Amino acid sequence: MGKKLEFPQEFLWGGATAATQIEGAYDVDGKSLSIMEMIPFVELEDRKDLSKTRNLTMQSFLDSIENKKGLHYPKRFGNDFYHRYKEDIRLFKEAGLKIFRMSIAWTRIFPNGDEKEPNQKGLEFYRNVFEECKKQGLEVMVTMNHFDTPFPIIQNYNGWKNREVIDMYLKYAKVIIDEFNQYVKYWLPFNEINLGVLFSAIATGEEDASKSFVEKLAATYQELHHQFIAQAKVVEYSKKYEHIKIGCMVADTTTYPLDCNPINVLENQQKEQMKKFFYYDVMIKGEYPSYSKRFFKEIGVNLEMASGDLEILKNNPVEFITFSYYMSSTISKEMGELTEGNLMRLGKNPFLKATDWGWQIDPLGLRYTLNQLWDRYQVPLFISENGIGVLEKLNANNTVEDDYRIDYLGQHFEQMSEAIKDGVDLFGYTMWTPIDVVSAGSNEFSKRYGMIFVDYDDYHNGTGDRYLKKSYHWFKNFMETKEI
């Protein structure tokens, strides 16, 4: 018999996905392309070195539309959820999931961003998906924008740099809230709001090589301000419906000082402030924190605000925090050895093991993070992503013996249970991800996170058939017994 963990009866166990990583069907029923679907697959000699995948410019996006070079764009194909959603939702239910986190593709609802009326075909697809979830008794959490701003908005309006995009986004958000509030209780306006803008700075092809990284970074804070305002306006609008809740979503890469040298402790505090607390502070406390003012001054950020912006932020904080947690890292003034494999390079921790992509596995760090966020904000917490990406193949029995995933999940669940005993108000968890999907960062299909194996390779060759891994059966048993 394993170890029994304690969780509240009503705890929301679930799985998370994102539209461009699962749906496919990129050119049907009036959909436009988002920037995520304009990033080609690149063969990497070293899986940790993502530098080649980041070589994106406006020209590379334009070239991708007609795809004259015949490249493969994995997020146009996903895992074919668009056609197989009924089977997938049934498998989620049978595993014991209670909640399904998914995103709606803005590109299906307002393909150009500036249409007067929404695309009915797009709404119909999501209504069918939600009906299916309802039929299977699954609660739904929706991300409104999971890195996938429609490309026409970037091409014609300069993306989030342009304040007009707030209204386009709000029009989209109001339509989906009005249409789907009876199916969806939990809404997240932006996925990993602390990475989205960074990603868009890369993805909108800042081609001006004369600008330093700091200058480019400074420019992204204006875009971020627009997203904060857009999110606060969604909160304001949501008050029309008492039964729905709006939360935020931050990529929480927990950091520790490399050692007890005060210079490294202070460095870690400053990195924590600007890389994570800044985002929560604006979205929960409703104001730009004092430490950000000094930081902005030092790197040359001059935010343009419209009158009323600060009041909108102050009056419309989100009701709950969600965050993704995959790894932790170390911080020191003179950065020592680094790991790769992500948008940012992170400091190595000699006490932790890492995945093939250099993501350092740290279950205790999850308990630490939960306590840190609860102490600071005192609002309900939800882990909206957590999981492990691994290279995997089906064995002769048409399954995958993924004991490493079972260990990973079990160890993280144990720390969640400990955090709840510490007094943290944690009300749910959605693993990334119940089913194999295209990787967001490296565009591979072979970086597999699922408990359900999908028969596609990096070039979308395969049957697309679904097979249950060992972790699927383990998870199903965990749902019944709470034993790890």
Active site residues: 192, 385
Q: Does the footprint of ligand BG6 cover residue 383 (CB under 6 A)?
A: no
Q: In the structure encoding, which two tokens stand for residue 84, read together?
A: 């197989």
Tell me which DSSP letter residue 160 carries: G
Q: Does the footprint of ligand BG6 cover residue 349 (CB under 6 A)?
A: no
Q: Does the footprint of ligand BG6 cover residue 355 (CB under 6 A)?
A: no
Query: Closest CB to ligand BG6 among 195 and 232?
Result: 195
Query: Closest CB to ligand BG6 among 159 and 358?
Result: 358
Query: Closest CB to ligand BG6 among 253 and 330?
Result: 253
In the set 251, 352, 373, 381, which binds ligand BG6 (CB under 6 A)? Answer: 251
CB of 391 to ligand BG6, least distance (A): 12
Q: Which helix (H) or strand (E) holds 409?
A: helix 403-421
CB of 112 to ligand BG6, least distance (A): 24
Q: Does the footprint of ligand BG6 cover residue 440 (CB under 6 A)?
A: yes
Q: Does the footprint of ligand BG6 cover residue 39 (CB under 6 A)?
A: no
Q: Does the footprint of ligand BG6 cover residue 432 (CB under 6 A)?
A: yes
Among residue numbers 58 through 97, which ones bind ligand BG6 (CB under 6 A)? Answer: none
Contacts of 186 (CB under 8 A, 6+ apart): 99, 139, 140, 141, 142, 244, 245, 247, 320, 382
What CA–CA distance (Å, rounded) separates 355 from 390? 7
Q: Does the footprint of ligand BG6 cover residue 139 (CB under 6 A)?
A: no
In the set 220, 254, 339, 442, which binds ligand BG6 (CB under 6 A)? Answer: 442
Q: Does the footprint of ligand BG6 cover residue 18 (CB under 6 A)?
A: yes
Q: Which helix (H) or strand (E) holds 432?
A: strand 426-432
Q: Is 403 exposed, middle or buried (0-12, 13-18, 19+ CB in 10 A)?
A: exposed
Q: Does the footprint of ligand BG6 cover residue 418 (CB under 6 A)?
A: no
Stretch that binds ligand BG6, among 4-12, 152-160, 179-187, 438-446 (CB under 6 A): 438-446
- The answer to whether the beta carbons of residues 318 and 238 sit under 8 Å apart is no
CB of 50 to ligand BG6, least distance (A): 9
Question: How many contiguous H segments (helices) and E segments (strands) does the chain have?
Answer: 16, 14
Stretch that binds ligand BG6, among 126-134, 154-162, 239-247, 439-447 (CB under 6 A): 439-447
CB of 393 to ligand BG6, least distance (A): 18
How many C-beta atoms lie closer than 10 Å to residue 396's C-beta?
5
Q: Which helix (H) or strand (E) holds 382?
A: strand 381-385
In the set 37, 80, 192, 362, which binds ligand BG6 (CB under 6 A)? Answer: 192
Q: Does the footprint of ligand BG6 cover residue 188 (CB under 6 A)?
A: no
Measuring CA to CA, how many Å separate 248 from each of 200, 283, 284, 476? 18, 7, 9, 29
Name the nearest CA neighbour of 419 among 458, 368, 380, 453.
368
Stretch that binds ligand BG6, among 282-290, 369-377, 395-403, 433-441 (CB under 6 A): 433-441
In the set 385, 392, 418, 458, which binds ligand BG6 (CB under 6 A)? Answer: 385
Contacts of 352 (CB under 8 A, 6+ apart): 328, 360, 361, 362
What CA–CA distance (Å, rounded) separates 143 from 172? 12
What CA–CA distance (Å, rounded) separates 440 from 438? 6
DSSP string, 129-154: HHHHHHHTT-EEEEES-SS--BHHHH
Q: Is 434 exposed, middle or buried (0-12, 13-18, 19+ CB in 10 A)?
A: buried
Q: Does the footprint of ligand BG6 cover residue 360 (CB under 6 A)?
A: no
CB of 340 to ligand BG6, least distance (A): 12
Residues 300-329: x where in contact with ligand BG6 by CB under 6 A, - otherwise, as a string: ------------------------x-----
Q: Does the footprint of ligand BG6 cover residue 34 (CB under 6 A)?
A: no
Q: What are the b/e assignments for 268-291, b being 16+ CB within 10 Å?
A: beebbbbbbbbbbbbbbebebeee
Q: Does the footprint of ligand BG6 cover residue 447 (CB under 6 A)?
A: yes
CB of 286 to ligand BG6, least distance (A): 24
Task: Determine the residue with CB nearest ligand BG6.
Answer: 441
The CA-CA-CA angle for residues 215, 345, 159, to 5°, reads: 45
Q: Does the footprint of ligand BG6 cover residue 456 (CB under 6 A)?
A: no
How many C-beta atoms lie closer than 10 Å to residue 157's C-beta?
19
Query: Closest CB to ligand BG6 among 273 and 446?
Result: 446
Query: Closest CB to ligand BG6 among 205 and 441?
Result: 441
Residue with tokens 């749910």: 428
Q: In the structure encoding, which two tokens stand for residue 365, read together?
A: 């760090």
CB of 186 to ligand BG6, least distance (A): 16
**Size of residue set near ligand BG6 by CB under 6 A:** 14
- The residues of the shown chain that bind ligand BG6, judged by CB under 6 A, are 18, 21, 191-192, 251, 324, 385, 389, 432, 439-442, 447
